[in-house]
Amino acid sequence: MERNLLNVVDVEATCWSGPRPPGQANEIIEIGLTVVDLDERRRVARHGLLVRPARSEVSDFCTELTTLTQAEVDTGVSFADACRWLVEEHGARERPWASWGDYDRNQFTHQCRVTGTGYPFGKRHTNAKRVFGAFHDRPKGPGMHRALGMADLPLEGQHHRGEDDAWNIAALVLFLVERDAWPEIPDPSVEP
């Protein structure tokens, strides 16, 4: 029997304290991914991948927020290689995935479009922030850090680091799974 796995994804992107500087673009600089076994109700793998920006630089504000420096992300892989990694190493096209809000999904969609890179994910995305908000009767849902407090879960690692945030979001997914509040993810091979 195939395992019921979910990819939990969180990205960090170049950012600035004010308006985006002319000629620069928001680009993914880190992809955090935690694999959750929904049947066993546990996190089974944790990954972080640095991504080298091609059309922007890491600002001081971005370093302050994420701790990532330009020198660090310069050692990362290209965005196209990062998307290949998601597909080849983590079955991203077949496996359902979740993120906290829609920012991550929208950032991938936009960056794939402007770079001509194939979108690495399938259609089975769950906005975990919305599910958590609905569970707590808060339609917008809280930020991840606040949600951890509401769930009486610790913040593990550095907030605003993709690998750590994906790990923490996965803990919130499991919080919802244990309360039967995580939605059933339809099998795309089965006709409705």
The pTM (predicted TM-score) of the whole model is 0.95
**What domains are defined for the chain?**
5-18+27-178 (3.30.420.10)
Q: What is the pLDDT of residues 117-169, one digit of tens each?
A: 999 999 999 999 999 999 999 988 999 999 999 999 999 999 999 999 999 99
For the cut 70, the answer to whether the pLDDT of residue 187 exceeds it is no
For the cut 90, the answer to whether the pLDDT of residue 189 exceeds it is no
Name, in order, each residue with C-beta under 8 angstroms of 1's C-beta and a sequence gap of 6 or more: none
In DSSP terms, 6 is beta-bridged to 36
**Do β-strands 28-37 and 125-127 pair in parallel, antiparallel, or remain unpaired?**
unpaired
Tokens of 46: 């944790």
pLDDT of residue 151: 98
Phi, then psi, of 180 in degrees rounded to 5: 55, 35
pLDDT of residue 192: 44
Q: What is the pLDDT of residues 63-91, one digit of tens each?
A: 999 999 999 999 999 999 999 999 999 99
DSSP 132-172: HHHHTT-TT---HHHHHHHTT-PPPS-TT-HHHHHHHHHHH
* Pairwise CA distance, residues 100 & 119, whole Å: 19
Q: What is the pLDDT of residues 13-66, one digit of tens each?
A: 999 999 999 999 999 999 999 999 999 999 999 999 999 999 999 999 999 999
What per-residue string of b and e applies to 23-32 under the rule 16 or more CB within 10 Å gives b? eebbbbbbbb
Residue that the structure tokens 């660090």 belong to: 72
Q: Which amino acid is at 16?
A: W
**Do β-strands 5-13 and 97-99 pair in parallel, antiparallel, or remain unpaired?**
parallel
Which pLDDT band, with edges at 50, 70 and 90, does 171 fall under? Answer: very high
Which pLDDT band, with edges at 50, 70 and 90, does 188 fall under? Answer: low
* Pairwise CA distance, residues 65 & 189, whole Å: 41
Helix, strand, coil shares of the chain as percentages rounded to 5? 35, 20, 45
